[in-house]
Amino acid sequence: MSTTVSPPAPAPQSGRPEAPDSRLRQLPALLLRALLTQRIVLLLVLLVAVVATFVTLSQRNYLTAPYDAGYMSAALISAVPLVMLGLAELLVITSGRGGIDLSVGAVVSLTSMVFGFGYGEWGWPLWPSILLAAAFGALCGAVNGFLIAYIGYPALITTLATYYAFSSLAIVVNDQQPISTQPIQEFFSAARSVPLGGGEDPLQVPLGILTFLLPTAVVVWLLLNRSTYGRRLYAIGTNDVAAQWAGIDVRRTRFLAYTAAGLISGLVAVVTVAQFASARPDAGVAGSGMALPAITIAVLGGVAITGGIGRVAGVVLATLLVVWLNAGILLAVPGNAGSQFQLFALGTVLVFAALLNGLTNRRYGRTG
């Protein structure tokens, strides 16, 4: 799907010198190698395994409700914020030098309130309000980016500090009260499902997938793989000293990565307001927050925490895996325990994937 990132590990397909039949004999080893070294292949296999397992369980009536295409499609509503924030983390983690953004959840909270004021209180039309949210999110991201790229703060600390600051402001700005005026409540329609395709039983797809998730994923993919900015971002993430000597404006590139992450968080705020039908001051930080799941998704999707490696397809596949696994668990383990087993599944998959990565790194060299 995307071009290879980073100095490519000797690709398994490039065994040109050998005769065709010897290549055929090597096929199992090549497949194993692809499975172990290519995170996307591993995720695809896991995804198929998870879906196949739950569909089988569903057909034998072990689940409390049918696990079919309609259910899987409805479950995608929770994938919208996850994929978008995962892509935000992809951008900042790829920018290297310990890049990470703990503040995305707080930016979502604060921007939710700003969007709530714009659309719900001041009576702005929808599009200017969405633009306002995106711009405000980008501004929050720019604060992070300025401190990290131009002043040289470590990313973890900066975004920890702004996490505290933004989440505090989000609560204080409207006296802890959510905004749920008439226009905001009607905005819930943006979170409805729309029928996709014809026939008498069309598949119901959450509207957010089409209006927010897909455009964001496509734009980030184009940015990373079809623009000079993307090449620069991978370059500074791989080795920012070398990138500096190659004439790349390292600071500006890194600054823009954090700004873009803020912009995406601003859009996620709009999505969350629609889902809750209310602009809540704790939207992005309630419970374990939005930042930790987003980072988990990014890491699971094969984004190297050291920077310079990461693909959009990995993040999308990792989200699909987690969302459909969670949806299946909810049917298999009813009630409160179901949401607890989701934590268990997420933790296990993450640790397993990370350990596998460490193992294959040693066996096959760098992974892509």
Partner 1 sequence: MSSSTLRPAGGAPSAGQPEHTARARGRVLPFPITGQEVVLIVVIAVLWVALALTTPAFLTSGSIVPLLVAMAPVALIGVGMTVVIITGGIDVSVAGMVMVCAVVVARAMVESGAPLPVAVLLSVALGGLLGLANGVLIAYGRVHAIIITFGTANLFRFLGLQLFGGTTVDNIPGTLAVFGRGEAGRTLGVPHSFLIMLVVAAAAWYYLRHTPSGRHLYAIGGDADAARLAGVKVQRRVLSAYVLTGLLTGLAACFVIARGTSTLAPNVGAGMELAAIAAVVIGGTSIMGGRGSVLGTVLGALLVQTVTSGVTQLGWRSQLASLFVGILILIAVGADLLRERTRRTA
Chain contacts with partner 1 (rule: CB under 8 A): 96-98, 100, 102, 147, 151-154, 156-158, 160-169, 171-172, 175-176, 239-241, 244, 288, 292, 295-296, 299, 305-306, 336-337, 340-341, 343-344, 346-348, 350-351, 354-355, 357-358, 361-362
Q: How far is the CB of 346 from partner 1 (least distance, A)?
A: 5
At 106, phi and psi to the nearest 5? -70, -35
- Tokens 């996490």 identify what position? 163
Q: Which is nearer to partner 1, 147 or 257 (CB)?
A: 147
Least separation in angstroms between CB 153 and partner 1: 6
Q: Which is nearer to partner 1, 56 or 348 (CB)?
A: 348
Least distance in angstroms from the C-beta of 95 to partner 1? 12
* Cβ neighbours of 293 (radius 10 Å): 20
Q: What is the DSSP letter of 300?
A: H
Closer to partner 1 by Cβ: residue 54 or 163: 163
Question: Shortest approach of partner 1 to residue 348 CB, angstroms?
Answer: 7
For residues 284 and 109, the answer to whether their CB atoms sit within 8 Å is yes
CB of 86 to partner 1, least distance (A): 13
Report in angstroms how near the CB of residue 329 gets to partner 1 at its nearest. Answer: 11
**Closer of 50 and 205 to partner 1 (Cβ):** 50
Closest CB to partner 1 among 175 and 200? 175
Alpha-carbon distance 92 to 155, whole Å? 9
Q: Is 249 helix (H, G, I), strand (E, B) or coil?
A: coil
CB-CB contact of 93 with 108 (8 Å): no
Contacts of 227 (CB under 8 A, 6+ apart): none
121, 112 Cβ separation under 8 angstroms = no
Q: How far apart, in Å, do the first and last CA atoms of the chain sit?
A: 13
What region does 199 belong to: left with phi over 0, alpha with psi -120 to 50, or beta?
left
**128/334 with CB nearer partner 1:** 334
